[in-house]
Amino acid sequence: MFLCTLNALNLVIFKIMTHSENIKKDKEVHFFVNASVINDVKAELKQSTILYKVLMNNVQDLIEAQVVNDTVHPRSSVSYYEQYHSLKEINSWMDHITEKNADILQKICIGSSYEKRPLYVLKVQNKTPKNAIWIDCGIHAREWVAPAFCIWFIGHHRMWRKSRSRHANDRCIGTDMNRNFDAGWCGEGASDNSCQQTYCGPYPESEPEVMAVTSFLKAHKDNIKGYITIHSYSQMVLFPYSYTMNRSKDHDELQLLAKKAAAAIRKTSRKVYQSGPGAETIYLAPGGSDDWAYDLGIKYSFTFELRDKGTYGFLLPPHLIRPTCIEALSAVKEIASHIMINI
Ligand code: ARG
Ligand code: ZN
């Protein structure tokens, strides 16, 4: 009666004093028990004065809940990486992720299983072949968190900051696009090392994304009265300058307006947002889009750093999207009305 049974519904743990193959003195034994015999098992354990604890009631429900979770657009959600997926779903995820990241990811078929299902390797590489580390997950089928780790590990592109470019002679991929604008470009607070998170790029506007924004803003600069760039996280309303500690000529007006924007947020959601010029409030950070737009002549130029203050950081959970957007909107409205009155 102590044998594990398939389709069992209850998991019981107990310290056992008797001896048997899988049972060691003073060691815990974990096993499943079919719901139909749970009372008999408990009675037997009690009678034999064996200490036990039910670890999990109704394992079947838990299994079922984990098997049916491939939602309609699972890849669109952050929590995709915090769920279990069917093999079919994992295979299409592999196709999707390799296609989207063709520059560093490659899918290689290395054979097939006994049941004739393909076995894939995802190769992560930085162009030139280098020494590698092999990681496999899920040699044992029931250990679901193992493949979940492999998927999560690849999904770690999630924490990428920079662009995806690689320039001649650069060792690493990516330029910090908020250091690539032509505003105090690559001064203190940026790095000229391509492997750094704040790499300014080989020259200002080296990134096509930055170039696209600046040419559009230049072409429409007479009509564009405000510039707002949205980042996360740290809950701040920032304005120029970030490339110098010097105050801009509109400092007083911008400070007042940023304070009003933060006050609007506070009124909306009781969240506290700090306000001030970038360099003074956080750090010197040259080559940013807000400073560039300001120097172009767009006076009302702001950087919003949305929620939170570090608890989840860049991994803000989906249920906080709505309240974060609603409070940000209240700040945008504050700025928009000020602009309307003052132009
Ligand atoms: N967290 C942002 C960054 O470091 C702040 C941007 C503030 N503005 C700026 N021009 N650096 O990019
Ligand atoms: Zn940012």
pLDDT in single tens digits along all 343 residues of the chain: 233 332 333 444 443 333 456 667 777 878 788 888 889 988 988 998 888 888 878 877 777 766 655 554 444 444 677 778 889 999 999 999 999 888 889 999 998 889 899 999 999 887 677 777 888 888 888 888 888 888 888 876 866 789 989 999 999 989 999 999 999 999 999 999 999 999 999 999 999 999 999 999 999 999 999 999 999 989 999 999 999 999 999 999 999 999 999 999 999 999 999 999 999 999 999 999 999 999 999 999 999 999 989 877 777 777 888 999 999 999 999 999 999 999 8
Euclidean distance between CA atoms 124 and 106, whole angstroms: 7
Name the closest ligand to CA 283. Answer: 1
H/E stretch holding 42: helix 38-47
Of 340, 246, 332, the C-alpha closest to 284 is 246
Name the closest ligand to CA 238. Answer: 1
Q: Any idea what the CATH number is for the domain that residue 122 is in? A: 3.40.630.10
Under the phi-then-psi rule, with left for phi > 0, alpha for psi from -120 to 50, and beta for the rest, what region is 165?
Answer: beta
Is 231 close to ligand 1, i.e. is its CB under 6 Å away? yes
Global confidence as pTM: 0.65
Euclidean distance between CA atoms 52 and 40, whole angstroms: 14
343 CA from centroid of ligand 1 (Å): 27
Euclidean distance between CA atoms 179 and 332, whole angstroms: 24
Is 290 close to ligand 1, i.e. is its CB under 6 Å away? yes
Is 242 close to ligand 1, i.e. is its CB under 6 Å away? yes
**305 labelled catalytic:** yes
Residues 27 and 103 in one domain: no
Is 89 close to ligand 1, i.e. is its CB under 6 Å away? no
Residues 28 and 128 in one domain: no
Query: Which atom number of ligand 1 is nearest to the Cα of residue 285?
Result: 11
Best of 228, 238, 254 to mutate for ligand 1, by most ligand atoms within 8 A of CB? 238
Q: What ipTM goes with this model? A: 0.95
Best of 179, 188, 242 to mutate for ligand 1, by most ligand atoms within 8 A of CB? 242
196 CA from centroid of ligand 2 (Å): 15
* CB burial of residue 38 (10 Å; 0-12, 13-18, 19+): middle
Any alpha helices (H) in 68-183, and if so which ranges?
A: 87-100, 145-154
Of 56, 61, 60, the C-alpha closest to 12 is 56
Structural domain count of the chain: 2
Structural domain range at position 12 = 1-54
**Which one from 89, 207, 305, 327 is the annotated catalytic residue?**
305
Residues 207 and 141 in one domain: yes
Residues 1 and 89 in one domain: no
Residues 82 and 178 in one domain: yes
Residues 84 and 175 in one domain: yes
